[in-house]
Amino acid sequence: MLMFTNDDNVVTRQSLSNFDAATLALHTRSHKPVPFSQGIDLVQDVAESAGFRFGEEQYVLARNDTQLFGLIEVQNFSSEESKICFGVRSSVNKSLSWQLCGGESLSICTNLDLFGNVVLKRKQTTFVMNDLRTLVVNFMGQFTKSVEDRATQVARYKQAQLKDATANHTIIQMLRTGIINTQRVEKVVNEYYEPSHPEFLNEEGERTNWTLFNAATEAFKGSPISTYTERSQKLHDLIGKATDYALAA
């Protein structure tokens, strides 16, 4: 799965319960942050009831242990090529709502895509724990379709090819929309024109929009995990439009 950066405060799931008492002490009349361990336990309970099995889990804490980011492998959806996972985000200081989304980590390069076609978000206010189970149940009901949608989306990326000028313009758009910063432009360009992983080329050894997509996710590596969800969503929007353009040409 994703390898967190050296700057990330990687923790075990067992250690998350150490923060529960401090989290409960932060409760006010309107602010009811969900203890980190309770939120993960709830996801696992609902997921297993829906037939999903937890595999590998990774968690990091940020902002002086006030924010949690987690990746949980969905074992019965994963394959040798990729690992489908849940992405969890939360905070105890009002900086993040409680969030759950779907994702995929490619085994050949550990590139992570937190796809956002199904995202659960709930402000951590009064009755959050009462609402959360129902929201997670609904999320699980949509999750299978989101994985199928992702597969369809990737198949279209693999069919589409851009002329160099259009590909270069798309990379500039990545910069302009905040998908990458100036320090990562060169990485995207190099990975697109000379991929580190030839598996991202088509059977004829040609570049496609799948090559370009993975050039960008390769460039994400080393950036904070907290930025992955927004970057992935923006990247899908941009590559999706480029794919529509290429396939219609």
- pLDDT tens-digit map of 233-243: 899 999 999 99
Is 85 in contact with 110 (CB distance < 8 Å)? no
Buried b (16+ CB within 10 A) or exposed e, 176-197: eeebbeeebeebbeebbeebee
pLDDT of residue 4: 55
- pLDDT tens-digit map of 203-226: 999 999 999 999 999 998 877 777
Give the DSSP letter of residue 107.
Answer: T
pLDDT of residue 116: 63
Place of tokens 């460039």: 219
Q: Give CA separation, 219 vs 23, 55, 81, 122, 124, in Å.
A: 35, 26, 20, 30, 33
pLDDT of residue 107: 67
Is 87 in contact with 101 (CB distance < 8 Å)? yes
Where are the alpha helices (H) located in 93-208, listed in sequence order?
A: 128-159, 164-176, 182-193
